[in-house]
Structure 1
Amino acid sequence: MSAVPQERRIVTAIPGPKSQELQARRSATVAGGVGSVLPVFTTRAGGGIVEDVDGNRLIDFGSGIAVTSVGASAEAVVRRASAQLQDFTHTCFMVTPYEGYVEVCEQLAELTPGDHAKKSALFNSGAEAVENAVKIARAYTKRTAVVVFDHGYHGRTNLTMGMTAKNMPYKHGFGPFAPEIYRVPVAYGYRWPTGADNAGAEASAQAIDMINKQIGAENVAAIIIEPVLGEGGFIEPAKGFLPAISKFATDNGIVFVADEIQSGFCRTGQWFACEDEGVVPDLITTAKGIAGGLPLAAVTGRAEIMDAPHSGGLGGTYGGNPVACAAALGAIETMKELDLNGKAKRIEEVMKGRLAAMAEKHDVIGDIRGRGAMIAIELVESGTKDGAKTPNAAAAAALAKACHQEGLLVLTCGTYGNVLRFLPPLVIGEDLLNEGLDIIESAFAGI
């Protein structure tokens, strides 16, 4: 159990005076391009609570953007990482290797979909994992083109910015971007012109037609998609879409890559979101929830594909840092012992039930979607009752602000900035979960 008391407490305005002092210091020395959702400065966090320097305790519906799924100070993560710190902090796996890296790769081979032989390479961030997945796919196929999707997000490096769909704040003013990146439609059911029931078949047919006509399947090294699109608005591609794209990739010798950086490691109630429709990717990228808050990422996939790059072609000074590997083993231990897939499914049951009741009262809620503890509401000008689906970014911003003032940390997302997303730690108590939902319900009354 977390040492941080698991109860919301508001003792000052949000942000409080000490946070405001620190914000002034930050403004003087931290680059302005680094933003923050809420400028309260954290001192402790654990379970479902974030405590700030002023003594306020906020309910956490963000998990550091789906990172601290096991909590921000999980016992097994702290224990294993602390022990590793005592032994050594770094050797560089490319200089003198260590067992922890190998153990993480063994766990990834066991946990990721498919019973084929698998290998992994470890890195520091999600963007780095995606970038290396592209390198591996190009080395294996001897092709260059990379196919990505509308509303997708893959990172902030030059290559992954080019792969990301949304201009602001991720791409604006930072080009030119890497070449040979092609974007095709995704089955966004809520906004599909002929309705959600048709989206899977129609969008996959459109995407495949565009690939064949505009790129040539024989030129495509990799097709990369998030099985639940994160920054784009927690979009679940309509049923049938992912299997159709995966089959097309297999039939044409294209490496199919599942970007599970936000959706992986129990977040959706399964170890990986692509399992929902039985999709077995050739490569899978992971980060965020893998190591309980320490920087670690991985590319895992078919052994013959992973072995395509020449020796020395993959790596990085800090990739698979020993302390981060120890933390990952602690996080995976926690996920198994506490059945965090089961806890994610229970969070979905509670949240979707409460949110559906709110949607009955508030037309501004156009759609409720997501799986497990990766749930979102899309906000619109007139709701669905009269058929209008005009994005309402102002409502999302107002709701987030109201929640923050009451001590609930929530995040927004979406291509149109009109989605409120909920990513509570999988270990959050149900009392805190419901209290957070009470705050959301009250916030609707004020917009």
Structure 2
Amino acid sequence: QSSFMSFLVKRDPDLRKRAFHQFYAEFQDHQYTLATLLAYSVKADVFRARARNFPSALEAALFPDDVPVAVYEGLVESVRAHLAPLFRYFELRRRVLGLSELHHYDTYVPLVPEIQTRISFDQAIEMVLGALAPLGKEYVDVLAAGLHGRWCDRYETKSKRSGGFSSGSYSAPPYILMNYKDDVFADVYTLAHEGGHSMHSWFSQHTQMFQDYEYPIFSAEVASTFNEELLTYHLLEQTHDPKMRAYIINRQIDDIRGSLFRQTMFAEFEKIIHAIEETGEALTLEVFKSEYHKLLAAYFAENFVLDPQLDLECLRIPHFYSAFYVYKYATGISAATTLAERVLSGEPGSVDACLDFLRSGGSKFPLETLKSAGVDMSTPAPIESTLALFERRLYELEELLL
């Protein structure tokens, strides 16, 4: 699947189209097997929930983090009510790419080609530290010492995994695994993101007892995405080059599109198919494809062509086989953007509240720690704030590209 994505970012529309159809031809050949696997995964979720006397599989999944169902449902409702800017973005894509119609395989190619830059690892560290300066001396000094020290394995080697990853243990420093390339601007963001995870671990490690050190995924993505948001604001302050600004803004827009809009659609699909199983109806291939197609039609604009093969996407998303996880990406980016706006606006106490959130580790439930930091995820405000940011950035991008 990683090879598939590498084709979808190519500038050649025919190459993207061929890659899309060839990729989904494989899923077409195995669609009944995959549908059976997904159906039994849902059955297992429902069985385990009933065995433990939960009213639904959704409530069973939310229970460990003490997240009310209203938060999950409120996320879907808020995003559903603000789809118009997303449709506008798809229309902007169609126009900028010079296409008569837009397909799903046209939504990943950058509107602004990758910026040609050469940024050394040490320069990237300084860029990230400059962006994180609002968090204060302790945060910056610890991260600087770690990145200039041996926290980060940044060299590509044989058999090393791709992407970025941060890990550690209670009695050792956090470690970052990535493959930093001087000519890939996105790697600066990867460094900021993984640095956020590492600093979350460091603050928790130096504050909490062992049993409260490990934090849940719900909180983890907030700390890392928060750093990316600060980096975006910092870079936009530093550059006035229209092409560079368009690239950075397009990147932020696509991050929100992927983490908030797309993951919410996934979350809604998970809720629907589990509800179908709970009513006793059979989950067949046609049911999966039909329900997923309805969501695709709702979350994409009228001028967006939905190729029939796209209905099979519901069978290839790994998270669907470990249900009710994807919503955390949507809540994570919403909380992160809200925290970033509070810190950058100079709101009194916002920096200390943010650092206290990092220090809290797993000592409290995630909604409680976020509320202490000034982000109340039990209300639609953080989600609506992020949706408003998406629309503001879209206006800026339209001015730069049209």
Is the structural similarity TM-score above 0.5? no
Q: What is the TM-score normalised by the length of structure 1?
A: 0.27
Q: What is the TM-score normalised by the length of structure 2?
A: 0.29
Higher normalized strand content (fraction of residues): 1
